[in-house]
Amino acid sequence: MTGVDTSLLEDYKDYLYIERRVSPATVAVYAAEAKRYLLYLREKDAEVESVQSTTIMEFLVHRSIQDHVAQRTQARNISALRSFHLFLVDSEIRPDNPVDLLEMPKTPLVLPGSVSSNAVDDLLAVIDISDPSGLGIRDRAMFELTYSCGLRVSEVCSLQMADYQEAERVLHVIGKGNKERWVPVGDYAAEALQVYIVNVRPHLMGAHIHEKTLFLGRRGKPLTRALVWKRFKEYCGMAGIEAKVHTLRHSFASHLLRGGADLRTVQELLGHSDIRTTQIYTHADTEDLLQVYRQFHPDGEPDSV
């Protein structure tokens, strides 16, 4: 990397943060891809000011072969390069975006996994709320809330005490890209949360009396995502259920749609910017319906006629 390239990358990251307002995780991914791209151009004696779509395609093929890049990752890489060249255009470094001439690969539809409401009940039931440490009560409240509000793990870990409005039974959530939303809290989650806040959290807090994070560990510090994943995996093993924490979010969405909720409402509750992301859940439910149809309907089997 030359000094010019390093400076360009720093400007690009500032552009993503300030102009595009994307999340730190996306900035890291896009900047890393831009760095690989610039290194490749240096090897080919090409310049970003004049590089054409053919060279960009050669880079993508090179990445695909060298790193065994999957289709979905390839599509993300094209998006990253398009973003980088848009930055070059906005910075008046070049007049056009050659990535616009490339065709995005069609990515296979990955249907989100969900479990039944009975399975969720079974999972929550194995959590020992009589544990003297109070960790069972904390975990019960945490996973009740995750399912009740369709939360991401990162959102659960970053919740503050002030985010829960007990009187209104609503939760203030800051999601991806710092997008804010308000989500109703169900009866079971509200009850479990109240028990945790009143009876357990003060003991976990210990000397950390100024800690504002909602869910705390043994030493009064905020929970990490790794610990939440670990605890959830243990409970899944006890309940005999194959699931991840994110499965609760998927189940939240699927159960709402099956209950008759409209897609726009579910989109708002999940914090999706694009309704097409939410529509994936309708595909998942269609797959479930087809499976039931094939299993139980006389016309469901191919050889039934």
Give the DSSP letter string of 227-296: HHHHHHHHHHHHHT----HHHHHHHHHHHHHHTT--HHHHHHHHT-SSHHHHHHHHHHHHHHHHHHHHHH
Q: Residue 20 carries which DSSP code?
A: I
Please compute the mean of the pLDDT values over residues 293-305 and round it to a whole number.
Answer: 52
pLDDT digits (tens, 9 = 90+) for 89-111: 999 899 999 988 876 655 554 55
Q: What are phi and psi of 122, to 5 degrees?
A: -60, -40
pLDDT in tens, 256-285: 888 888 888 888 999 888 877 777 766 555
Q: Annotated catalytic, 272?
A: yes
**Confidence at residue 42, expressed as pLDDT on a 0 to 100 scale:** 92
β-pairing verdict for 164-165 and 170-174: antiparallel
d(CA 305, CA 303): 6
Task: Enumerate the domain spans of the chain.
Answer: 3-101, 117-294
In this prediction, residue 302 has a pLDDT band, given cuts at 50, 70 and 90, of: very low
User: If you average pLDDT over every residue of the chain, what do you get?
Assistant: 85
Q: Give me the long-range contacts of 57-60 (CB less than 8 A, separation at least 24).
A: 57/102, 60/102
117-294 CATH pick, 1.10.150.20, 3.40.50.10490, 3.50.50.60, 1.10.443.10: 1.10.443.10
Average pLDDT of the segment spanning 13-22: 88
Lowest mean pLDDT among 7-11, 102-106, 195-199, 275-279: 102-106
Name the nearest CA neighbour of 126 among 134, 113, 114, 136.
136
Across 60-82, b (16+ Cβ under 10 Å) vs e yields: beebbeeeebeeebbebbbbbbb
Question: For position 284, what pLDDT does the model report?
Answer: 57
Q: Coil, helix or strand for 304?
A: coil
Q: Which tops the pLDDT comparison, 290 or 36?
A: 36
For residue 79, the Cα-to-chain-centroid distance in whole angstroms is 18
Which residue in 176, 181, 208, 221 is the catalytic one? 176
Rg of the Cα atoms in the chain: 24
Is 246 a residue of the active site? yes
The catalytic residue among 82, 85, 140, 152 is 152
Per-residue pLDDT, 211: 86
Taking a C-beta distance cutoff of 8 angstroms, is the pair 12, 1 a contact? no
Residue 281 is a catalytic residue: yes
188 annotated active-site: no
Quickly state the pLDDT bin for 286 (edges 50, 70, 90): low
Average confidence (pLDDT) over 39-64:
88
Q: Residue 40, Cβ neighbours under 10 Å: how many?
A: 18
Q: Which residue has the higher pLDDT, 65 or 143?
A: 143
- Which percentage of the chain shows pLDDT scores above 90? 54
Would you state the pLDDT for residue 127? Answer: 95
Of the candidates 63, 85, 140, 249, the residue annotated as catalytic is: 249
Catalytic residue among 12, 15, 40, 281: 281
Nearest 10 degrees: CA dihedral of 13, 15, 180, 188? -20
Amino acid at 241: I
Listed ranges 19-28, 214-223, 274-283; the one with the highest mean pLDDT: 214-223
Task: Map residue 66 onto helix, strand or coil.
Answer: helix
At 234, the pLDDT band (50, 70, 90 cuts) reads very high
8: CB partners within 8 A, 6+ apart: 38, 48
Distance in Å from the first CA to the final CA of the chain: 67
Q: In the predicted model, what is the mean pLDDT of residues 224-252?
A: 93
Rounded to the nearest 5 percent, the helix, strand and coil shares of the chain are: 65, 5, 30
181 is known as an active-site residue: no
250 is an active site residue: no
pLDDT recorded at residue 300: 55
Average pLDDT for 176-197: 94
According to the CATH classification, is domain 3-101 in 3.40.50.720?
Answer: no
Entry pTM: 0.60
Catalytic-labelled residue, pool 94, 244, 246, 258: 246
- CA 256-260-263 angle, to 5 degrees, is 70
Under the banding of pLDDT at 50, 70 and 90, the label for residue 305 is very low
> What is the rounded average pLDDT of the residues 176-182?
89
